[in-house]
Amino acid sequence: MKFSRRDLLIGTAGVTAGIVFTPVPWKLLGDVSIWSQNWSWIPQPAHGPVETTLSPCTLCAAGCGMRVRMAAGFPVGISGVANHPLTKGALCTLGYAAHQLNWHPARLLRVRHSGRASSWPEAQAAFAAACAEGPIAVMDGRPGRAASVALETFAAKHNGSYQTVPGPETQALAPYAAWSGVPASTLGYDLENARTIVSFGAPLLDGWGTPGRFTRLWSARAAGQSDPQLRLIQIEPVLSHTAARAWRWLAVREGTQGALAAALARVLVEEHLVKAQGPLPEMTLEQAAVQAGLPIAEIRDLAHAMVEHGPTVVITSDGDPAVAALNVLLGAVGTPGGIILKSKVIPRHGAASTAPAKFRATVIDASVPWDLIPPAQGEVFRFATWDGGDSKADWLLPSPGFLEELTDIPTAPTSATETYAIATDLLAQPQETQTAAQFLRKIDASLPDVDKSIHARCEQIFQARLGTIYAGQSKPVAQFESAAKLEEQLRKGGVWLSEPPRNATLHCALKIWPAAAATAPAAPTDWTSTWAPPVLPPLAAKLYQESTVREAPARRLA
Amino acid sequence: MSARYGMVIDLDRCTGCGACMIACASENNVPPAAPRATWRTGITPMLVHTLSNGKEGVDRREAFIPIACMQCEHETPCVSVCPQQAVELDKSTGIVMQMPQRCLGCRYCMTACPYHARYFNWWDPQWPPGMEHSLNPGVSVRMRGVVEKCNMCHARYHDALQKAAAAGKKKIDLADYVPACVEACPTGAIAFGNLADPNDPVTMAAKSPDAFRLLESIGTEPKIHYKTTQAWIRALADRNSGRPTEAQHV
Amino acid sequence: MSETALIDRRWIARDAERASTARFLLWLFPWVCLLLLGIYAAGLCFYYGLNQTNMDNRFAFGMWIFLDLSIIAMGAGAFFTGFLVYILKQTDLKPVLNTAVVVGLTCYSGAVAVLMVDVGQPLRAWFTFWYPNTHSMLTEVTFCISCYLLVLILEYIPVLVQNRQLRRVPSFLVFEHQAHKLVPVLAGVGAFLSFFHQGSLGGLYGVLRGRPFAYRQGFAIWPSTFFLFILSAIAVGPSFLMLVVAAAEKITGQTLVDFRVYRKLGFISGVLLAIYVAAKAIDTYVWLNVTSPRLGFGPWDYYSYWPFSSTFLFAATVPLGLLPAILFIVPRTARHRGLLLLAAALTCCGVLLNRFVMTVQTLALPTLPFDPFLKYIPSWQEVATFGGVLAYGVIVYSLSYRYLPMFEATKGEAKNVSLD
Amino acid sequence: MRRVLLVFGIGFALALIGGWLVFPRVLYLEKPQPFDFFHKTHAEKSGLTGCDSCHIVGSDGQFAGIPRNDVCLGCHSDKLGKSEAEALLVDNYLKQGDQPEWLIYSQQPANVWFSHAIHTQRAGLQCADCHGNYGESDQPRVYEVNRITGYSRDIWGHSMSRLRRAPGDGMKMTDCEKCHRRHHVEVGCLGCHQ
């Protein structure tokens, strides 16, 4: 029997007819669709239960309370802690994506020396050699931490200098500190008792200070009220988000806020709107008004509005003394609703030591802002978690990332109450990383370790028997049985708050009206300026790229 | 008793910070922007728009309006148009549900939505290497070529349901079900609640004289309400057919 | 003659006059190139996704939907001619019937092909059949178009098997003979399906309550656009057919159909167009004065944006609506071949403009009061994909013309062959 | 004509054989589990009676899934017996601290949300109602994965035709729906999807 072409055709027809009665076409049709629902190149989340832990945020000095959801050993979501005494359940905008930062493409996981790959032993050797040769500077961006103790001790023991790099919010308090003779770190803003807040460009509603503190306050006392309990007057050249929502917005000419402050001072004193008689600026009202580009009537109007509804406090984003002096005139330094001394301060190790002229090497802790340009001399050992780009450092040393390090969080710069919190290492510290304190301990094993310093601090708080611990609910320190119990509570995400602030009057020795800051200091230029890490979480692109609600930032993104 | 979950967003409290957008994207495993993505091709189930009174200089006023799916209750525009039942108005919650795995990506629902609250996955979702560990286990990642939108943080609803079941309760505790944007708002501008419950504070807020809805005249009965005391913001709620609008050219 | 030419000749009907193989290949060459480019562009869209297009979340439908709607309207000539010939017994239109079938087939299959590129997940497109949402106009469209495409294929097969080589298979001849009995039935079914989906394509936008520019009230579940789309489609179908035949005559240099057929097609187009313009005017009036204000939108919300001002409305009604209708109907102008073809071209442009307004303008106009007016320019991938479909249509028609008896005049020996 | 029928029939038969017998073998791929595990042995020897002895549902309703090493360590801190599986468990996993990477027969895809708590505690379903009598298994089961979808074969069920299936054999959406319909439980898409 010969197989013909015709047979082939008929056979094929038979197969075709038969295949319809098998699962082949139908199962394939379904499975191919399911395949399109499960493409292998599309990541899917891990399976398994989710656990929730509390921890303070370690990204900036504010130390907001976070609720961290963990699955399969990784954080999968961050939210605020409702009723948290500092943050009232809020976080900053980008904090909600902070758990993604550890995988940021700019994450540093290799030691780099002069732009080339290097190793920890080499860095260690280079630093040891430098230590042997000359004085060392150690720079700390967030003094008062347990790690700061190690940094400071090291500097002291090795003929070095411990220098702190104050953040913008501490810097803004510096004039008052200078005039009243107390450290800036002991000052804070009594926002809760203020009824008028005049902000010279401070992004109060946009991540200033501890974000939730002011936003909640504003929301309850100002938002949507035609005659608000809390008047927010924003003085800023552009209509920023804070300006848009302020009770009043005054568009001052760029870089002339000092002049406006002078004009206001003139009106306040000359029209006896304040008790103070001086000091008075040299500039006349007319001159100042011309500089600021504002009609005199408007300035006078503003001055009246400032005192109409006291207490009033003036807040600047940059610590311009000419603006700060307004608070002295207003009597807002050392009075409720103004700039006040923090509640009873539990003594900590001292402040920055003075700097010798020359250093053989500088160690920069990861807490120091990336854009700080280190002193030119000497070899720079820069600790950082992310590569913010364009580094001047000789050594780039990878630090543990978000939630990868045990650290404590001392009082936030703007806070009126002293606080303390502990962030445990919820994630294992990557082997490629070291903190500056760990690094220095390898040179000098006698340095106090972070764990011990935290114990000591908890012991101190326990002994002082002051304030309360908030962990879901408040419990007075006096009711704790032991320092260990207190520490345990703090390690579970609790926060210690000292007593309410003191009403200690501060005497400001301000005789002559200060000159406006010589060079206009870097006021917040974009909305990312309140964000401490040198990189933004990739999801920030939702705001600057996938919507029009924000201007694109100058900061490095992904 | 079925619930009708809805929101009242206080525009006077919105500072346009964008925390709701970030928290939403993080909760719902929305990928970061593709390199070429723009405001017209991005995925922002919660999106804050800037409103202005149209003036320039010192007379300019700005406000912000967060826009998510409006969860239209009546003649839900997207539900009826979907050819393969990938969208439905859930009977027990009133949530308009989008099922991306059923979606064929025809985008008809997107043309139907007057609020532009639906987003198409123009690109494959991509995260930097390793970042997939940070994905929320309660939400599956969408593939390219499908439409997605706000499902009112359904993973959180699931958790609340499960918690209620484990505790032997039939109804969820509303305290357990708080969408990410509501939780994240630093000024508490977004209130979330059950509009079917007359005693719910949100129901009462939705009835206040300051409350309004967007494009109410279209008649889709959105369950996202807004409120403001500012007349100029209120005027932007609806088109006024009698008034010629300013022609805008972008 | 070369080997290729010999083979080619064997597939062409005996005695039929056709261009030389070389000339034919030369003619096909640019079209094949365009087709390949289109396939490449579509391939890019499949491989990388729809980010290859310039569509976005706001312009979720773009050029493809606009042109799909347009070519499906143009393809309406297929079902409508079938309907006229077989149901209304207008047998004098029979000479263009085969052309109508081929045009319809290419338009519909081309549109379906583009739709498959247009959806984000073509592998799941069959879910519409498995989990249909009966309330959706798109379900109606999908079902009708797929069914009608099947009908068109069935209608095309009897034409196909008249090919000289295929005729040699005896069972095909039997099939053809039987199929001819079936054709009127198919024409009826096709007409039914087509009326429905032309309508549902109109309904597609007409039901969009959220887009007051497109939203229309209507009868039962169908908005008025449902009926207007049917009317405009059957008005433009004969016009487009006329243009295709005229183009074929021009290219082949042969007279393919009698001028009376043109006039008849033109007359049909003209009458329907006149009815359409009247209906559309009433519809626009009701929409602008009743439907739209009820949704809170007034004419200014639509017509204050350049370039979509009221000139579009005027253009679609007068120069591209009334004018061709008059040209078609008034005997003095209809006698003139040039004017007739001009009118046909204007009609096609009118329908194109209408489909453009319904799709693109609807999406460009803001709905939210604080929304901007949007622009959209298709990407080269979108244009190329559509170019591919155009090329596909030309190639299929060219091949059909060459190898199949499209017209009585060029049938060759296939004339008068009966089964006996 | 007879020849036509014959040839057609042969083609038809070939298609049937290929489609029903060969196709499943091509479509599914067998994969080994880390080591053999016997539910029955555990039930008999250790006196662990209920599934929830090891497969725990938390107080917030979260299902822990396959027990982690610390649960096993409760008994297996040292080798119990001389079997190969026991040695593998203790030496390769418990001592190393690595979790065995079990392939889960009833693993639903990422887009499915299934709450054990709701089904067992509210609806009162037994584990075996959906999973079959795995608790009594004394044979290591073969794990097969669908090469196209990546799903476990248990999702479709072992019978290609999906006729005559035992409980637990087949966990497709239609299986869920069938039970939901029977008990008049109506949930929307996102009732079970995520």
- Radius of gyration from C-alpha coordinates of chain D: 21
| All domains of chain C in start order, with CATH | 21-409 (1.20.1630.10)
Q: Provide CATH 3.30.200.210 ranges for chain A.
A: 50-103
Phi and psi angles of residue A144, each rounded to the nearest 5 degrees, phi first: 95, 0
Interface residue ranges in chain B relative to chain D, Cβ cutoff 8 Å: 86, 88, 90-93, 95, 97, 99-102, 138-141, 151, 154-155, 158-159, 161-163, 165-168, 170
Q: What is the pLDDT of residues D39-62, one digit of tens each?
A: 888 888 777 778 888 888 888 888
**Do D140 and D37 contact (CB within 8 A), yes or no?**
yes
Element (H, E) at A470: strand A468-471
Q: Which two tokens stand for residue A237?
A: 């050249």
Q: Does residue B246 belong to any structural domain of this protein?
A: no
Alpha-carbon distances, residue A307 vs A98, A555, C64 (angstroms): 41, 39, 64
Phi, psi of A231 (to 5 degrees): -95, 125
Q: In this model, does residue A350 exceed pLDDT 70?
A: no
Q: Does C127 touch chain A (CB under 8 A)?
A: yes
Half-sphere exposure for A419 (CA within 13 Å, toward CB): 26
Which chain D residues are closer than 8 Å to A38 by Cβ?
109-110, 149-151
Residues in CB range of C324: below 8 A, 6 or more apart: C239, C269, C270, C273, C342, C343, C344, C346, C347, C350
The token pair at A105 is 């493409």
Q: Which residue has the higher pLDDT, A8 or C387?
A: C387
- Tell me what percent of chain B is helix, strand and coil, each rounded to the nearest 5: 25, 15, 60
Contacts of A36 in chain C (CB under 8 A): 121, 123-124
> Do residues B187 and B29 lie in contact, with contact meaning Cβ atoms separated by under 8 Å?
no
How far is the C-alpha of B43 from the C-alpha of B8, rounded, in Å? 23
DSSP A376-433: SSSEEEEEESB--SS---SEEEE---TTSS-EEEE--TT-SS-EEEEE--SSPPPTT-
Question: What are the tens digits of pLDDT across the range B101-121?
Answer: 999 999 999 999 999 999 999
- Per residue in C105-161, pLDDT (tens digit) is 999 999 999 999 999 999 999 999 999 999 899 998 899 889 889 888 888 888 888
Residues of chain B found within 8 Å of residue D114, distances taken between Cβ atoms: none
Q: Look up the domain containing B41 and give its range.
A: 5-234
Q: Is B101's CB within 8 Å of A206's CB?
A: no
Average pLDDT over residues B228-233: 91
pLDDT digits over C180-221, tens only? 778 888 888 888 888 888 888 999 999 999 999 999 988 877
Residues A401/A430, Cβ–Cβ less than 8 Å: yes
Report H helices in C170-298.
170-206, 224-252, 259-286, 292-294
Dist CA A455 CA A306 (whole Å): 46
**Is some CB atom of chain B closer than 8 A to the CB atom of A98?**
no
Nearest CA in chain B to A49: B137
How many structural domains is chain B composed of?
1
Percent over 70 (pLDDT), chain A? 94
Which of B37, B129, B133 shows the shortest C-beta gap to A74? B133
Q: Supply the pLDDT for residue D94.
A: 87
Nearest to A18 among D14, D23, D146 (CB): D14
The pLDDT value given to residue A525? 54
C339 band by pLDDT with thresholds 50, 70 and 90? very high
**How sure is the predictor about C247, in pLDDT bands with cuts at 50, 70 and 90?**
very high
User: Residue C357: CA atoms inside 13 Å, Cβ hemisphere, count?
Assistant: 26
Interface of D with A in 26-45 (CB under 8 A): 27
Residue A496: which of A412, A405, A424, A427 has the closest Cα? A412
pLDDT at D167: 74
Please give the pLDDT value at position B246: 44
Measure the CA–CA gap between B221 and B74, rounded to whole angstroms. Answer: 5
The stretch D146-175 carries a mean pLDDT of 87
pLDDT for residue A504 is more than 80: no
Residue to mutate among A33, A34, A39, with most C CBs inside 10 A, is A33
In 3D space, the residue among A442, A449, A435 whose CA is nearest the CA of residue A368 turns out to be A435
Fold exhibited by the domain A50-103? Phosphorylase Kinase; domain 1 (3.30.200)
D18 interaction partners in chain A (CB closer than 8 Å): 19, 22, 24
Nearest residue of chain B to residue C304 (CA atoms): B247
Instruction: Report whether pLDDT(A99) > 90.
Output: yes
Nearest-neighbour CA in chain D from A551: distance (Å) = 33
Contact yes or no for A31 and D13 at CB 8 A: no
| Gap from D125 CA to chain B (nearest CA, Å) | 13
Asked whether residue B249 is domain-assigned, the answer is no
Residue B243 has pLDDT above 50, yes or no: no
- Judged by a CB distance cut-off of 8 A, whether residue A29 touches chain C is yes
Q: What does pLDDT average to over chain A?
A: 88
End-to-end CA distance of chain D: give it in Å, rounded. 57
Q: Which of A18, A28, A44 sits opposite D13 (nearest CB)?
A: A18
Burial of residue A231 (number of CB atoms within 10 Å: 0-12, 13-18, 19+): buried
Distance CA C86, CA C104 (A): 16
Rounded Cα distance, C35 and C43, in Å? 12
Give yes or no for a contact between C192 and C170, defined as CB atoms under 8 angstroms apart.
no
Residue B184 covered by a domain = yes
Q: Are B137 and A45 in contact (CB under 8 A)?
A: yes
Beta-strand relationship, A379-384 and A395-398: parallel
Is A451 in contact with A406 (CB distance < 8 Å)? yes
What is the per-residue pLDDT for A354?
A: 56
Q: How many Cβ contacts (< 8 angstroms) between chains A and D?
A: 97
D150 touches chain B (CB under 8 A): no
Residues of A with CB under 8 A from a CB of D: 7, 10-19, 21-24, 27-28, 31-32, 34-35, 37-38, 40, 44-45, 47-50
- Cβ distance C126 to A35 less than 8 Å, yes or no, reads no
**Which positions in chain B touch A75 (Cβ < 8 Å)?**
134
Q: What is the number of alpha carbons within 13 Å of residue D137 lying toward its C-beta?
A: 16
Residue A279 pLDDT exceeds 50 = yes
- Confidence at residue A1, expressed as pLDDT on a 0 to 100 scale: 61
Q: Which of C226, C229, C206, C208 is nearest to C216 (CA)?
A: C206
Determine the pLDDT at residue D165: 76
Sorting pLDDT into bands at 50, 70 and 90, what band is C1? low
Question: Distance (Å, rounded) from C-alpha B147 to C-alpha C341?
Answer: 44
What is the average per-residue pLDDT within A207-226?
Answer: 89
Nearest CA in chain A to D104: A47
Strand partners, B97: B88
Residues of B (30-89) whose Cβ lies below 8 Å from C = 34, 36, 38, 40-42, 49, 51-52, 65, 75, 77, 80-85
Q: Does residue B244 lie within any of the structural domains?
A: no
Q: Do B140 and A36 touch (CB under 8 A)?
A: no
- Find the CB nearest C61 among B104, B107, B250: B107
Q: Distances in Å between the alpha carbon of A80 and those of A53, A218, C110?
A: 11, 18, 54
Question: Structure tokens of C420?
Answer: 């006996």
Site from C53, C66, C115, C136 to mutate, B interface, most B CB atoms within 10 angstroms: C136
Element holding A341 (H helix, E strand): strand A339-341
CATH of the domain at B162: 3.30.70.20
Identify the helix (H) or strand (E) that includes residue A54.
Answer: strand A50-56
DSSP at D109: P
What phi and psi values does residue B69 have, to the nearest 5 degrees?
Answer: -55, 135
Within 10 angstroms of residue C14's Cβ, the number of other Cβ atoms is 10
Determine which of A129-143, A195-209, B15-29, C300-314 has the lowest per-residue pLDDT on average: C300-314
Cβ under 8 Å to B: D residues 155-194: 186-191, 193-194
In a domain, B139, yes or no: yes
Burial class (CB in 10 A: 0-12, 13-18, 19+), D114: middle
Give Rg (Cα) of chain B.
18
One-letter amino acid at A522 equals A
Q: Do A49 and D63 touch (CB under 8 A)?
A: yes
* CATH code for the domain defined by A191-337: 3.40.228.10
Helical residues (DSSP H) of D48-88, grouped into ranges: 69-76, 84-87
B241 lies in some domain:
no
Residue B37 lies in a domain: yes
Q: Where in chain A is the domain with CATH 3.40.228.10?
A: 191-337
Q: State pTM to two decimals.
A: 0.93
Q: Do C127 and B102 touch (CB under 8 A)?
A: yes
Q: What is the DSSP letter of A515?
A: P
Q: Which of A51-65, A502-516, C46-60, C283-297 bottoms out in mean pLDDT, i.e. has the lowest?
A: A502-516
- In 10 A of CB A481, how many CB atoms? 8
Integer CA distances (angstroms), C375 to C55, C347, C365, in order: 10, 26, 9
- Comparing CB atoms, the residue among B21, B134, B185 nearest residue A99 is B134
Contact A397, A434 (CB under 8 A): yes
Rounded-to-10 torsion of CA A365, A368, A369, A374 = -80
pLDDT digits 0-9 by tens, B35-51: 999 999 999 999 999 99
Query: What gap in Å lies between CA B215 and CA B240, rounded to an integer?
Result: 10
- Cβ-count burial of A377 within 10 angstroms (0-12 exposed, 13-18 middle, 19+ buried)? middle
Residue burial B81-92, b: 16+ Cβ < 10 Å; e: rest: bbbbbbbbbbee
Tens of pLDDT along A31-49? 999 999 999 999 999 888 8
Between positions 78 and 137 of B, the ones with CB within 8 A of C are 80-85, 102-108, 110-116, 118-124
Predicted confidence (pLDDT) at residue C417 exceeds the cutoff of 50:
no
In chain A, the residue whose alpha carbon lies closest to the alpha carbon of C120 is A36
Contact status, residue A441 vs residue A449, Cβ threshold 8 Å: yes
Tokens in use for A217? 């306050």
